[in-house]
Structure 1
């Protein structure tokens, strides 16, 4: 299960990076084409809006490139007896992948959250072993499976 989850998230990150790069390239092309055929205040406003959008996309791209770098540096193959970075934890029928913060996914009917080691829940899970319980937001989580 862990291998499928890590492969899914790896593909997700790469697809996001590819999509953001394409959107940036499209905006750059639109700005070039717009510059050729327009003049005046409306033109300047449109170019300014495109530039702002491009800056936002570049920031998102930077975030996903950093996430990819961190994700790829984690040893997901390591067998863990305690929860650590790279662990897949099953608690209360929810899987938590301690890696980087990424959106929730459903795989094979299972709910998976990728959470960063800095997340409050991850902080409570790290160092725990199979069978341990923790409390978070008035919910008790019992570690039923650990990879």
Structure 2
């Protein structure tokens, strides 16, 4: 069960990252096509402005695609068999209020009929959790909660 939850969470994270990549790639391809079609248009100020805007959008999408690749790379470093007594990268943390998967920031996930938040260790709550153990209390946004389990 321990590894099942972590394995499921990791799989869900990879699926979310893949969905993002597919969506971004689709928009990138559409933008490429628009840019090629614009090249075929007549010249002029409007043409140049449109081309420049399309190229800026393409650069932004390129950066977003690189970020998504980074997320996948980070996720691939998680060892689902590693269990620690303190919260670390790759830990699944159960608390008296919310459950967390310390990985990359991808939002809410649901597995084994439980909700988890996939967060990065660099987020404010991630920073608070790192290094803490079962029984430790965390205060975050005027809320105090207790770590009940770490896998």
Partners of 2:85 and 2:134 within 8 A in 1:
yes
User: Does 2:41 correspond to 1:42?
Assistant: no
Partners of 1:104 and 1:113 within 8 A in 2:
yes
Determine the C-alpha separation between the residues in 1 that align with 2:70 and 2:41: 38
Give unpaired runs (5+ residues) of structure 1: none
Give unpaired runs (5+ residues) of structure 2: none
Q: What do you get for the CA RMSD once the two structures are aligned?
A: 1.8
| Shift >6 Å, 4+ stretches | none
- Which has the higher relative contact order, 1 or 2, with Cα contacts under 8 A spaced 6 or more apart? 2
Determine the C-alpha separation between the residues in 2 that align with 1:93 and 1:139: 9
Determine the C-alpha separation between the residues in 1 that align with 2:72 and 2:23: 14
How far the C-alpha of 1:109 sits from its partner, in A, is: 5.4
- The normalised TM-score by structure 2 is 0.86
How far the C-alpha of 1:110 sits from its partner, in A, is: 3.5
How far the C-alpha of 1:120 sits from its partner, in A, is: 2.5
How far the C-alpha of 1:22 sits from its partner, in A, is: 2.2
Determine the C-alpha separation between the residues in 1 that align with 2:19 and 2:101: 19
Q: How many residues align?
A: 147
- The normalised TM-score by structure 1 is 0.88
